Structure 1
């Protein structure tokens, strides 16, 4: 059985590291490269950096920042934000990045998933799915950093993304993101059960028990952490940190 991965997710906006609550209320955290250096020292196994700069989809990836991150990062690194074409992915991989994360472009042109995975392998492609629950309880997929509603069901879209060649799905609950209130276990379970590829659960982690619950009850293959790894505790100041790996994996046995 593969070890459950616990992955820090860093959000970048206009070159600065930030943290959001439900994709809103941006709080400045620090410098992305300095934060990567700290995670190097903490011996994190993997890292994801998502650029949520307004209009990033139209502007394309920030290749200068990507090059700086690649130079600093000693662990496998995934980059998302503004990837719209095979050429974008090619430039990111050429910088030394191991994975690309695609969201809006994957929905607007699903063949992009196949194009990238055909050239670089499915293990190099993470399809990110942002989900928000509506007034009547239905979960729908959102794009453009959660601003644009689609009519897509997250389970249906996740299965389609897998069919097109995604190696992993990163599932984010917009309603839980940054709240410290725990994962949406029902949502995670519904998507995880439909897939044969790894699912990274993201949005809501507030303590170690939340990590255990989303793996054991939700069925996720990996867990992505945001607030927990950049703040001391909920409502407290910035402190880049990472839970003790031995403790986490002991709890997951």
Structure 2
């Protein structure tokens, strides 16, 4: 089943990698500069400062491990996921090999995100479940835990995680969009439609909210009801292959095949790496040959 890509809430949620340890930074200018840059939300400056810190400062193993977690958090903010994961893993390796008592729920969460984004869903699940156990009301943990469950085919658990997201941030439309998509994966169309309606109520101008409801209705074979919502979604986000594909599907559902065929081709052109879009493009193109 085609899914709208999930929205990652990384941003400011990962800047505070772990509570500050004054002993790790108090006597080192580049280390302190990195901390200051994180506080100010300047991840690029933080990366530069922490790299200088690690190369020049005389750090004991515990301090070095903490600086690596800070560096990992800054890399994560910049969506440099491979480098973030390397930094987090190095922090844990230092702690393990040098006998340092070290672990933190924020670091677990951030390493879990890095693992998820680099394709290690099983590893991500380990870290994110630990983080969720220690800070169950952290929205970034719950959001990425839901994404991880979804990738592992554990949709019922994904629903629970996304329900936690909507509980924590009920005014955030993306939480309802993700919850709607998870219900669709379970074949529970009615609650999926209800959650998508909530997203539209919160942000009726958003192409992504409109598309969530459009797609839920399409899956439920309510093509005529979906069509105007799909048209509004495309008007708001004309460069989104996923959203154009939804409109094409609605048009096909109501029998407007010529228009649908053109839009399936347009959607595939916008997202040529998506298997569902490619299949629908090839299927509808074959109808004319």
* TM-score > 0.5, shorter chain as reference: no
TM-score by length of 1: 0.29
Which protein has the larger Cα radius of gyration, Structure 1 or Structure 2? 2
Q: TM-score, normalised by structure 2?
A: 0.26
Higher strand proportion, which one? 1
Which has the larger share of helix?
2
